[in-house]
């Protein structure tokens, strides 16, 4: 990991690293989307053979395969999934908003109702690792919101199967369909539909640069959650933080992917040097050491600031996916934070807790998108139509503003539609 002094000129350079640039793959991804849109299942089979090296006859996973996965999966893993699912459910139920109506003025009632999306597609990444936890994070909030049709798409293994843990998690969470197809072609299938996979209203879930590009391209035809690129963590720490915990947090983030970013921002040079030493000393004990080394060489950084206020300034500019605050008073430091996907307070709150067990969602905005997006939540799967009911008294109370503004804007029929009701 590189150590650098805080410099305003360097902020933009470091932050730009976090902006996932999909321009270089937009062209090929657009071609993939066109193929699927025009060729349906046939195009999906061709692309799955090309990119995954797998011949798939039937994309939809059968109930027999799901039942077999339940029998095969280690009982300890099943129990861990069940415990995580219960915490995720409890947390996301608390996010569910309610209908409401209020009297704005006498005779003028206005409010909103809550309605679920009808169908949702959950993209579950595969490849380097198996991610049953992401199934729980995407499907459970959709089910709580009341979505009628929840579809999961995930890349097939080399033999065309889907990992047992993924199938069990999907079944446990309440998914209605599971399909063995991944990449940009899966996003295209969920957006436009094929003979096997009907289109959905919204696509959520993380993925690689091709999946992210595909989600951007189909946005408008369907809704998406947000662009979600390589994972990232930023740690704000002062001299009171425990160096070993920080080092392990950095290693945990770096093992995700060679493109994952790990940044420590601190006002303590001694802490910075100690953490750097611990990181490099412990890499050799990690199973994914090669991935960690590549990630830290490219995107590992320790930034030295004059004080914690300056560290907070840097963090807000970076807008990290995961923000860990290890300071003497993390709640006080939190008061200055404006931009972050998910925040972990204190030495005893590792990102892994949020990834798997605490109940908060781990599908989060990356690449600086935490400046304008929140993480996935129950509200990601609902709509809130507004409602109004107006009485004759309400018409009288509104006539001054409504008639004056309608006539000022030259919309005669608007004014007359209101005036006619006054006459009646």
CB 362 within 8 A of CB 137: yes
Choosing from 322, 332, 379, 393, the catalytic residue is 322
- Tell me: is residue 318 an annotated ligand-binding position: no
Is residue 208 annotated as involved in ligand binding?
A: yes
Alpha-carbon distance 42 to 298, whole Å? Answer: 39
52 is in an annotated binding site: no
The two structure tokens encoding residue 102: 């209020």
Catalytic status, residue 321: yes
User: Is position 8 annotated in a ligand binding site?
Assistant: no
**Residues paired with residue 264 on neighbouring β-strands, in sequence order:** 235, 302
- Per the document, the length of the chain is 424
Is there a binding annotation on residue 377?
A: no
Alpha-carbon gap, residue 29 to 81, rounded angstroms: 34
**b/e code 9-34 from CB counts within 10 Å (16+ = b):** eebeebbebbebebeebeeebeebbe
Q: Which of 127, 136, 155 is nearest to 87 (CA)?
A: 136
Q: 41 among the known binding-site residues?
A: no
Q: Is 68 a catalytic residue?
A: no
- Taking the CA atoms of 69, 70, 75 and 80 in sequence, report the sign of the dihedral they define: positive
The sign of the torsion formed by the CA atoms of 413, 414, 415, 420 equals: positive
Please check if 223 is assigned to a binding site: no
Among the listed residues 321, 332, 335, 379, the single catalytic one is: 321
* Alpha carbons 420 and 304: distance in angstroms, whole number: 69
253 is in an annotated binding site: yes
- The annotation status of 72 as a binding-site residue, yes or no, is no
412 is in an annotated binding site: no
Which ranges in 53-163 belong to alpha helices (H)?
63-72, 75-93, 132-145
Binding residues: 123, 185, 208, 231, 253, 256, 322, 355, 409, 414
Binding residues for Zn(2+): 253, 256, 355, 414
Binding residues for substrate: 231, 253, 256, 322, 355, 409, 414
Catalytic center residues: 321-322
């Amino acid at each position: 990991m590189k150590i650098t002094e805080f410099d305003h000129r360097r902020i933009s350079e470091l932050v730009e690293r976090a902006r996932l640039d999909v321009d270089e793959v937009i062209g090929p991804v657009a071609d993939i989307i066109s193929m699927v849109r025009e060729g349906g299942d046939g195009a999906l089979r061709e692309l799955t053979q090309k990119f995954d090296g797998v011949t798939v006859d039937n994309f939809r996973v059968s109930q027999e395969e799901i039942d077999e996965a339940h029998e095969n999966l280690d009982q300890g893993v099943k129990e861990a999934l069940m415990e995580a699912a219960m915490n995720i459910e409890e947390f996301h139920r608390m996010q569910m908003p309610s209908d409401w109506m209020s009297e704005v003025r006498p005779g003028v009632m206005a409010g909103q109702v809550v309605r679920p999306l009808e169908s949702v597609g959950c993209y579950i990444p595969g490849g380097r690792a198996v991610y049953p936890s992401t199934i729980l994070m995407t499907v459970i909030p959709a089910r709580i919101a009341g979505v009628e049709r929840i579809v999961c798409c995930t890349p097939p293994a080399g033999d065309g199967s889907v990992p047992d843990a993924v199938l069990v998690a999907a079944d446990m969470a309440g998914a209605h369909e599971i399909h063995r197809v991944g990449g940009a072609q899966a996003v295209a299938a969920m957006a436009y539909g094929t003979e096997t996979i009907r289109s959905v209203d919204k696509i959520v879930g993380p993925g690689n640069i091709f999946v992210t590009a595909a989600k951007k391209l189909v946005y408008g035809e369907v809704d998406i959650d947000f662009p979600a690129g390589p994972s990232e963590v930023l740690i704000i720490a002062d001299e009171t933080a425990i160096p070993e915990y920080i080092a392990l947090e950095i290693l945990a983030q770096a093992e995700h992917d060679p493109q994952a970013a790990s940044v420590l921002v601190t006002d303590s040079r001694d802490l910075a040097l100690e953490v750097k030493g611990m990181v490099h000393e412990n890499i050799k004990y990690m199973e994914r050491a090669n991935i960690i080394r590549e990630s830290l060489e490219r995107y590992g950084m320790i930034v030295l600031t004059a004080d914690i206020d300056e560290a907070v300034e840097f963090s807000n500019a970076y807008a990290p996916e995961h923000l860990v605050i290890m300071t003497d008073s993390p709640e006080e430091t939190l008061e200055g934070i404006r931009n972050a996907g998910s925040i972990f307070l204190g030495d005893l709150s590792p990102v892994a807790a949020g990834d798997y067990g605490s109940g908060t969602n781990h599908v989060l905005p990356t690449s600086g998108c935490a400046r304008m997006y929140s993480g996935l939540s129950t509200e990601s799967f609902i709509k809130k139509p507004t409602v109004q009911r107006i009485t004759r008294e309400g018409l009288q109370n509104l006539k001054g503003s409504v008639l004056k503004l309608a006539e000022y804007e030259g919309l005669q029929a608007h004014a007359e539609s209101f005036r006619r009701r006054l006459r009646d």
